[in-house]
A = this chain, B = another copy of it.
């Protein structure tokens, strides 16, 4: 029942030694999702123990090279490993040209289907759903079309309060109805209300990814209350103007979004190579939102499962 984010690349456009361009693995209930695929992603996946072939959904925030140039090598390696399972790539319009170029010149051996799901809508939109998770995309505020992603664990089925089974002599049919979230009316007219007989065993967890983006008014509403927010913080406030021109955020701006959206924890990344000491960015963020951490290559952020156990 894991839910974690591993940050494998914390550099922005110009990488420096030991800092990689954007690439992140979200692991939910054992399933791997890749967000962004900068140069070196396949190497970072190996380094941190993630199987290349277990990834079946890739989410590309936007078509700048530092979020994308690793896709060629990753697809080639998947082909070499004999992948046959289809691969879904959620990416802005235009990705189909990048993929067509790849297939024309380097696609020998790619026998698996690659399905490009274009990201279009600026308003939040559900783009993937499984038994345990929902993923939505929403427009960001960057120089070119860019999208953020929201990963939500679905609410689990309700559990029955065990001590009530004996007290009220619940039948199996009644238990099934209550677990489905429906009240029971007995033949003698007695009402068994769902909230009296059942509970939700844990709260569904959630994570949002916002990179690259400048702040914009709607963002907090898109990601309200997530347990973990990954938000870019390319600059510190000393380069506020540069952040504005390049449609990026400062550490303070990322923290303001986190505070306004009332998230559980903020992780910042996508750092400009100008900053040798990232504590400048961290401190200005923590002054606004104390629960802020710096992303580092290979760092894993777990969202713990909080179980509700009334018995």
Query: Interface on A for B, CB 8 Å cutoff?
Result: 13-18, 20-21, 39-40, 42-43, 46-47, 63-66, 69-70, 72-73, 76-77, 80-81, 94, 97-98, 101, 105-106
Contact: A46 with B73, CB < 8 Å?
no
A16, A43, A63, A94, most chain B CB atoms within 10 A: A43
Known: A15-B73, A16-B46, A39-B43. 16 other contacts (CB 8 A): A13-B76, A13-B80, A14-B77, A15-B42, A15-B43, A15-B77, A20-B43, A21-B73, A39-B40, A39-B42, A39-B69, A39-B73, A65-B72, A72-B72, A97-B105, A98-B105
Contact: B73 with A105, CB < 8 Å?
no
Q: How far is the CB of A92 from chain B (nearest CB, A)?
A: 12
Known A-B contacts A15-B46, A15-B77, A69-B73; the reply to A63 vs B105 at CB < 8 A is: yes
9 contacts between A and B (CB under 8 A): A13-B80, A14-B81, A16-B46, A17-B47, A40-B43, A63-B105, A65-B76, A65-B106, A98-B105
CB neighbours of A17 from chain B (8 A)? 43, 46-47
CB neighbours of A72 from chain B (8 A)? 39, 65, 69, 72
Q: How far is the CB of A303 from chain B (nearest CB, A)?
A: 26
Distance A94 CA – B63 CA, assembled complex (angstroms):
24
Contact: B42 with A18, CB < 8 Å?
no
Minimum CB distance partner of A104 in chain B: B97
Distance A20 CA – B77 CA, assembled complex (angstroms):
13
Distance A44 CA – B81 CA, assembled complex (angstroms):
25
Cross-chain contact of A39 among B16, B66, B70, B80 (Cβ < 8 A):
B70
Minimum CB distance partner of A100 in chain B: B101
Q: How far is the CB of A100 from chain B (nearest CB, A)?
A: 10
Minimum CB distance partner of A72 in chain B: B69
Q: How far is the CB of A145 from chain B (nearest CB, A)?
A: 13
CB neighbours of A101 from chain B (8 A)? 101
- What 9 A-B pairs come out closest when comparing CB atoms? A17-B46, A39-B73, A17-B47, A40-B40, A101-B101, A65-B76, A69-B72, A14-B80, A69-B73
Distance A73 CA – B43 CA, assembled complex (angstroms):
15
Q: How far is the CB of A82 from chain B (nearest CB, A)?
A: 11
Distance A21 CA – B40 CA, assembled complex (angstroms):
10
